[in-house]
Amino acid sequence: MYSPSIERLLTALKKLPGVGAHTAERYIFHWLKSGKREVGELVLALKKLMETVKSCERCWNFSDASPCPICRDAKRDRTTVCVVAEPADLAALERTGAWRGLYHVLRGVIDATEAENLPKLKIKELLARVKTGEGKTKISEVVLALNPDLPGETTMLYLERELKRINPQLIITRLARGLPLGADLRYADDITLGNALSHRITR
């Protein structure tokens, strides 16, 4: 229906998550209207990404340098490591400003429906970090900050067992469960409300 060069770009764009023919069309007609400068900047940014971004050899976050700025930051607490599934989770936690320790990006979670991904997870690397410590500092606490869903819970249970095996004294914690900001008690699900009650905070 479209010209060959438009069809080619449609095919390339439809590989993106959540992008179908309609969204891809909208992007293409946006670029055709916006002109060469915007597309030029996008092409340069894509090339730069592929040339520059690497995995941090310690925390496995994506970064322009390895070790990444967080792992090199002398002001961060090297005795605590927060385990996340994806780089986007790390970014969300960093935005809160509430974490001053280090991170470890698993690059996914244990998922029974995608068993072939299991060897790609950076679990071995996490266990090695806990075993050897961060430079001269020993890791004393690992926060498991995975999503509270089935694959997340499965992964956290597995990690707890393996981490305890390496260091029985290691403190292993999880993110608090309770009511989110702006929640309405009446409409909260039973498990969330139960958690909020049993983990209630003394003031």
Smallest distance, a second copy to C-beta of residue 177, A: 23
Q: By C-beta, is 26 or 131 nearer to a second copy?
A: 26
Strands 141-144 and 101-105 come out as unpaired
Residue placing its CB nearer to a second copy in the complex, 31 or 158: 31
Spatial distance between the Cα atoms of 133 and 128, rounded to a whole number of angstroms? 8
CA distance 163 to 140: 11
Q: How far is the CB of 196 from a second copy (least distance, A)?
A: 27
Binding residues (CB under 8 A) for a second copy: these are: 1-6, 8-9, 11-13, 15-18, 23, 25-32, 34, 36, 38-43, 45-53, 62-65, 68-69, 86-88, 91, 94-95
CB of 140 to a second copy, least distance (A): 26
Q: Would you say 19 or 170 has its CB closer to a second copy?
A: 19
- Residue 157's Cβ-side half-sphere holds a number of Cα atoms within 13 Å equal to 9
Helices of type H across the chain: 4-13, 21-34, 36-52, 69-72, 87-96, 123-132, 150-166, 190-198
Tokens of 23: 């969204």
Q: Which of 56, 78, 76, 59 is nearest to 67 (CA)?
A: 56
For residues 23 and 137, which CB has a smaller minimum distance to a second copy in the complex?
Answer: 23
By beta-carbon proximity to a second copy, the closer residue of 93 and 172 is 93
Residue type, 79: T
Residue 136: CB minimum distance to a second copy, A: 27
Q: Could you tell me the smallest distance in angstroms from the CB atom of residue 52 to a second copy?
A: 4
Residue 15 Cβ, how far from a second copy at the closest point, in Å? 6
Which of 23/132 has CB closer to a second copy?
23
Sole residue written with tokens 């095919």: 11
Q: Is 156 exposed, middle or buried (0-12, 13-18, 19+ CB in 10 A)?
A: buried
